[in-house]
C-alpha cells in the first residue's frame, strides 16, 4: 500500500480547495434585474462603456410593479438609469422624456442620459475578479433607487443607492419642473447638479479644479450627500461611494420605498403587475409587459421564474427595510 507523505497531502488539499473555489465562482454571466416600484411608468435605459458590448436592450418601457431581467457578459461595464415622463411613437420609437432622455428615442443605442438622472454604474469582474459598482447623482437626480447584489460569492458585499426623494427638497435654482415646456402640472421632476445648472469649473471639477485636491464638495453636492450618504455626489467622492462584490446578479429597484406601487397602480400595458402574495396558490413572480414589438424579443426574459432568481414582493420589502436603515441620513 502506497503511503502519501505530507507534501503530497498538501498538494492534494490545495488542488481540491482550488476546485471547490472555482466551482463556487459564478460561471454564467451576471444579470441585472430591474424593478419599477414607482406608482407610474418609467423607461429604463442602458449604456455600455468603451470596449464592452451593449446589453440586449438599451431602452424599454417598464410599467408600475413590473420587472425585467437583462443578461450581461463577463467584464461588462456601463450605466443603467430610468427615464420619466416619456412619450414614444409606437412605430418609430421616436419620442421625448422629461428626465434621463437619450437622443429622443426608446432604444438609446449608445446615447447617454441627459441630466439630471440617477445612475447605477458597474464594472463586472472576469472570473474571480470583483465587480465595482456605485450609484451616482453627480449628473443630478430624477428618481430614488437601490442596487443590491444577489447570490453573493465570498461575502463582504453591500447594497448602495439613494432612497431619499431629493426632488422634494431640491433648491429652486436646480429644479427641473414639469410643464416648463409643455404646460404640465408644475411639480419638480428632477434636480440638476450644480455643474449642469451653472457650468462653473468649481462645480464641474474641470479646468484648474480637475483633481481631488482642488475640487471639493460644494454646498449643493453636500445637500445631495446628506440626503444619500452612499451615493456619488461629486466627481471625487470615491471614498464613501464605490463598492466591490462578486455576485451572480444585481437587483436594481426604482422608487424602492414606495409601498403601494404594486397592486394599487393604474392599469398599464397589458394589465400585468405583481401577483398577489399569500395563499390560494397564486404566483408571486413579477411579470413584464408584452414586448413582442421591440428588439427585446428573444433576448431578455419575459418572465423571471423562481428558478432564475425571481424578485418577489417579500424580497423587495426585505431589501428596502435593510437598506433604508443604512442609506438614510
Does a structural domain hold residue 202? Answer: no
Report the alpha-carbon distance of residue 208 to residue 194 in Å, rounded: 17
Handedness of CA 300, 152, 77, 111 (dihedral sign): positive
Does a structural domain hold residue 9? Answer: no
Does a structural domain hold residue 211? Answer: no
Does a structural domain hold residue 297? Answer: yes
| pLDDT the model gives residue 28 | 58
| CA 206 from centroid of its chain's CA atoms | 27
Give the total number of structural domains in the chain: 1
Output the nine-digit C-alpha cell for 3. Answer: 503511503
Bin 303: left if φ > 0, else alpha if -120 < ψ < 50, else beta. Answer: beta
| pLDDT the model gives residue 128 | 86
Q: What are phi and psi of 78, to 5 degrees?
A: 170, -160
Cell 421616436 locates to 94
pLDDT in tens, the chain (329 residues): 555 555 545 444 433 343 333 334 444 579 999 999 999 999 999 999 999 999 999 999 999 999 999 999 999 999 999 999 999 998 999 999 999 999 999 999 999 999 999 999 999 999 889 999 999 999 999 999 999 999 888 777 999 999 999 999 999 999 999 875 444 567 999 999 999 999 999 999 999 999 999 999 999 999 999 999 999 999 998 778 999 999 999 999 999 987 644 444 333 332 222 222 223 333 233 334 333 333 333 444 433 332 233 344 445 555 555 555 555 55
* CATH code at position 158: 2.60.110.10
**DSSP symbol at 131:** E
Does a structural domain hold residue 214? Answer: no
Predicted model pTM = 0.75
Sheet hosting strand 247-254, strand order edge to edge: 67-71, 31-36, 247-254, 145-152, 160-162
Q: What are phi and psi of 145, to 5 degrees?
A: -155, 155
Strands 77-83 and 43-48: antiparallel
Does a structural domain hold residue 299? Answer: yes
Q: Which run of H or of E encompasses 267?
A: none
In residues, how long is the chain? Answer: 329
Rg (CA), the chain: 22
Report the alpha-carbon distance of residue 235 to residue 242 in Å, rounded: 12
Does a structural domain hold residue 189? Answer: no
107: containing domain: 26-169+219-327
Cβ atoms of 288 and 68 within 8 Å: the answer is: yes
Other CB atoms within 10 Å distance of the CB of residue 299: 13
Does a structural domain hold residue 43? Answer: yes
Amino acid at each position: 500500500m502506497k503511503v502519501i507523505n505530507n507534501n503530497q497531502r498538501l498538494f492534494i488539499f490545495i488542488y481540491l480547495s482550488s476546485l471547490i473555489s472555482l466551482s463556487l465562482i459564478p460561471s454564467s454571466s451576471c444579470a441585472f434585474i430591474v424593478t419599477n416600484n414607482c406608482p407610474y411608468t418609467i423607461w429604463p435605459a442602458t449604456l455600455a462603456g468603451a470596449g464592452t458590448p451593449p446589453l440586449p436592450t438599451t431602452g424599454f418601457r417598464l410599467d408600475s410593479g413590473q420587472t425585467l431581467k437583462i443578461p450581461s457578459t463577463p467584464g461588462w461595464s456601463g450605466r443603467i438609469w430610468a427615464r420619466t415622463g416619456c412619450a414614444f411613437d409606437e412605430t418609430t420609437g421616436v419620442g421625448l422624456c422629461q428626465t434621463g432622455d437619450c437622443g429622443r428615442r426608446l432604444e438609446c443605442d449608445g446615447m447617454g442620459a441627459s441630466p439630471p438622472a440617477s445612475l447605477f454604474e458597474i464594472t463586472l469582474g472576469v472570473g474571480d475578479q470583483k465587480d465595482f459598482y456605485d450609484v451616482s447623482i453627480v449628473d443630478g437626480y430624477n428618481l430614488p433607487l437601490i442596487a443590491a447584489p444577489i447570490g453573493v460569492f465570498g461575502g463582504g458585499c453591500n447594497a448602495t443607492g439613494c432612497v431619499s426623494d431629493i426632488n422634494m427638497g431640491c433648491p429652486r435654482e436646480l429644479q427641473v419642473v414639469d410643464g416648463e415646456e409643455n404646460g404640465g402640472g408644475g411639480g419638480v421632476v428632477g434636480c440638476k447638479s450644480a455643474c449642469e445648472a451653472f457650468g462653473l469649473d468649481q462645480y464641474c471639477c474641470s479646468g484648474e479644479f480637475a483633481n481631488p485636491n482642488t475640487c471639493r464638495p460644494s454646498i449643493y453636492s453636500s445637500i445631495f450627500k446628506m440626503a444619500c450618504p452612499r451615493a456619488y455626489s461629486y466627481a471625487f467622492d470615491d471614498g464613501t461611494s464605490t463598492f466591490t462584490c462578486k455576485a451572480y446578479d444585481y437587483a436594481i429597484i426604482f422608487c424602492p420605498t414606495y409601498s403601494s406601487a404594486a397592486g394599487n397602480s393604474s392599469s398599464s400595458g397589458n394589465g400585468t403587475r405583481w401577483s398577489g402574495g399569500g395563499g390560494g396558490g397564486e404566483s408571486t413572480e413579477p411579470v413584464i409587459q408584452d414586448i413582442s414589438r421591440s428588439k427585446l424579443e428573444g433576448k431578455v426574459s419575459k418572465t423571471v421564474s423562481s428558478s432564475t432568481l425571481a424578485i418577489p414582493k417579500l424580497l423587495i420589502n426585505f431589501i428596502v427595510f435593510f437598506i433604508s436603515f443604512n442609506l438614510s441620513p
